[in-house]
Structure 1
Amino acid sequence: MRKITIKISAIFALILLMVFLQSQNIYSQQQKLAQTGMKFLNVSLDARATAFGDAITSLETNSSAMFYNPAGMARFEGIADVSLGQTKWIADITYYNASVAFAPFEGDYGVFGFSFVSVDYGDFFGTIRADNEQGYLDVGTFSPTAIAFGFGYAKSLSEKFAVGGNVKYVRQSLGTSIVGNVVQNPLTAGFASGTTQDNELDVLAFDFGVIYKTGFKSLNIGMSVRNFSREVQYKEEGFQLPLIFQIGTSFNFSDLLELDKNEHSILVTADANHPRDFPEQILFGFEYTFMNMLSLRGGYSAPNDERDITAGVGLKQNIQGLNLGIDYSYTDFGIFNSVHRITINFAY
């Protein structure tokens, strides 16, 4: 059994490495910086993760791991876990996310998960070109939409090695275009000519991840690939999804200081990511937890144009067997003001 587990682990790690090398080959053939689509997939959603500066690839967490490294939910405590979150993004954009993880038969058959993301962009004024004095006509308002449904699975293959994967259905609608010569009908306020074109796309995307416990105290190493998919296109122009490769490590310094982790936990993380559409980054995170109830967090990533430090706080409480947690994070976004996230977690 042990040999089979080692072989499966090696095969999965090899697949992950091949995916990464393939992405490198794509980059070497043609650099497409800032030319990816469906960018909402790149926005970090979980309040605890963002307070860490997104340096959580090697952390064993809960159902929200499906948004970062699916392997992170392989060892979550309990039978079921639910996370609900809201992100107040820049430009009055709001993200809503939910994730659920279930470990039947005490996790003997792995952990199954479901995730959901929805984006509220608000209303926009629509215009079209026209042969009039202004050169355009107002066509009312439209509301772009974006959603992603994900199904994930994670399994602890040994005491040290965990793997996870996630397949998600992604859909984005940018409204309807009117193509051709357009003349406004003064009697009906409608348009006498022109054809309509729906700007909608959907695609399947995949995430993969591994977490390795080194055996040296609490030192973990993690690796993930997110948003791996085929190229998609609207009417003419094609684009890739925002593929990102991330690797990181974490360590609880309470081990070195010989502190009781149930009283004082000092967790430090560091990640490096390689995105398809912007330069590489180094991410750092820190979390101090007192009495396994109150957590204070901070994070930083570099290089950045506008995003500065991140900070957050978390509270946990067990109420008659139900673990209830609430996390908040703050991100300074320079000229775009600040971003606020809140996540509520239930685990049983």
Structure 2
Amino acid sequence: MSQSRRIIIYSVFMGILLGQSPDIPDVVSKVATSAGNYLKLETGARAIGLGGAFGAVGTGVTGVPYNPASIGFVNRMEVYFSHTEYMVGISHNVLAYGTQLTGSDYIGFHMFWLDSGPMDVTTELYPDGTGEKFNVSSKSFRFVYARSVTDRLKIGMSLNYIRDDIYTVYMQGVAYDIGSNFDTGLFGFKLGMSVTNFGPEVQYHGEGLVQIVSDTTDPDKQLHKVTKKFPLPLTFRLAVANDIIGKESAFVQSDIHRLTLAMDGIKSNDYVMYGSLGLEYGYGEFAFIRCGSHLNHDTMGMAAGGGVRVNMGGSALCVDYAFVNNSTIEPTHQFGLNFEF
């Protein structure tokens, strides 16, 4: 097939994927109708630099929250850590591990925790604080398994334990993720699909919901408040990626330069459908520059980043940086370290 024909087919295909329908007035987004919204936070410096377009290009433990099949690309063993500082002392951290059990089986874990930093406990009698401190923390711990079904298809699943702690009140539950990554063999296109945060409704419990009352028949004189149940942010993701330039590119082949285009379509049960579009340039698989954008999203905008990969014998160290612009908070910066053994 001629080079020009390949480019035409590629342009038409991407035009269909990127095409958006006209805005529909009065769309109900269902914002703030689910619990555990921290599960939708983007993690991983490489993924953030690509604007969150990581469902098809995620290769390793950093891609687990986007698509659990990503762990099926681990070679032998991989460890990842990242730390992000938000405003007023809020931070989030990621620690992940993955290993190849057999020629086709992979396991690992992905741990994420969000912390508010210390805050003052206030009451009606002490509006300036009682002298006591507390933290709001949100945690997610995923156990992941993936399998290479064929040399082109990988499937993965994860069991996710989640917990929120707000002073003396907590919420906890279990969610499930499932995903796949498929090399179509058609002009180098790769498809990623995932369903994440599937699980039962959750509600808050704890001592903070107990109220002491005098006019009750309860011998403990306690009134236990029951909170409303909320669903988790169930999210569907369809992703596509292609090496426009690269060693195995169907369009422009190069042993040194690589340019990857990635796009994700995302729909959660508490928000309108939106997209992520990202580009990654790699020079000799040593130095990388990334940029991305969030499409049809009301807060997240442009993103950028870069990284280097240093080979050390049979091991490698990857250092990545990402920046994302957000209309509601200050721009955030994230650094990530990835070790491959």
Instruction: Report matched runs for 1:1-348 at 5 Å.
Output: 32-76=30-74, 78-105=75-102, 107-108=103-104, 110-130=105-125, 138-139=129-130, 140-176=132-168, 199-234=169-204, 235-254=226-245, 255-260=249-254, 262-348=255-341
| AA matched with 1:316 | R
Deviation at 1:31, TM superposition (A): 7.4
- Gaps in structure 1 of 5+ consecutive residues: 1-29, 177-198
Other-structure match for 2:13:
none
Q: Deviations over 1:41-71 (max 9, x none)?
A: 1111100001111111112411112121011
Is the CA contact 1:87–1:94 (under 8 Å) kept in the aligned structure 2? Answer: yes
Which residue is equivalent to 1:24? Answer: none
Distance in 1 (CA, whole Å) between partners of 2:276 and 2:58 is 17
Shift of 1:75: 2.6
Distance 1:204 1:284, change over 3 A: same
| 8 Å CA contact 1:270, 1:282 repeated in 2 | yes
Q: State the one-letter code of the partner of 1:291.
A: G
Cα deviation per residue 1:177-229 (whole Å; 9 max; x = unaligned)? Answer: xxxxxxxxxxxxxxxxxxxxxx1121111111011111123210111111111
Distance 1:201 1:337 in 2: 28
User: What's the secondary structure of 1:40's corresponding residue?
Assistant: helix
2:14 aligns with none
Deviation, 1:277, is 1.7
For residue 122 of structure 2, give the secondary structure of its aligned residue in structure 1. strand
Distance in 1 separating the partners of 2:328 and 2:137: 25
Q: Give the match's secondary structure for 1:61.
A: coil
Change (3 A) 1:269 1:90: farther
User: Which amino acid in 1 is paired with 2:280?
Assistant: E
Q: Alignment partner of 2:46: what SS?
A: helix
CA contact (8 A) 1:45 1:86 kept: no
Task: Tell me the SS of whatever aligns to 2:253.
Answer: coil
> Which residue does 1:10 correspond to in 2?
none
Supply the distance in 2 between the matched residues of 1:237 and 1:31 (Cα, whole angstroms): 20
Runs of 5+ unmatched residues, structure 2: 1-27, 205-225
Residue aligned with 1:67, SS: coil
1:188 maps to what in 2?
A: none
Tell me how far 1:161 sits from its aligned partner.
1.5
Amino acid aligned to 1:284: L
How many positions carry a matched residue from both structures? 289
Residues 188 and 250, structure 2, Cα contact 8 Å, conserved in 1: no
Residue deviations 1:111-149, cap 9 Å, x none?
00111112221122222335xxx8x57333211122121
Rounded to whole Å, the distance in 1 between the matches of 2:314 and 2:333 is 30
Q: Give the structure with the higher percent helix.
A: 1
Structure 2 distance, partners of 1:310, 1:321, is 32
Separation (CA, whole Å) in 1 of partners of 2:140 and 2:327: 28
Q: CA deviation at 1:90?
A: 4.3
Cα deviation for residue 263 of structure 1 reads 0.5
Amino acid at match of 1:40: Y
Give secondary structure in 2 for the equivalent of 1:226: strand
Using the size of structure 1 for normalisation, the TM-score is 0.79
Contact 1:60–1:74 (Cα < 8 Å) also in 2: no
8 Å Cα contact 2:196/2:236 also seen in 1: yes
1:256 deviates by 4.0
Report the residue type matching 1:97 in the other structure.
Answer: V
TM-score of the aligned structures, taking structure 2 as reference length: 0.80
Letter in 2 for 1:319: M
Calculate percent identity across the aligned residue pairs: 25
Following superposition, the deviation at residue 302 of structure 1 comes to 1.7
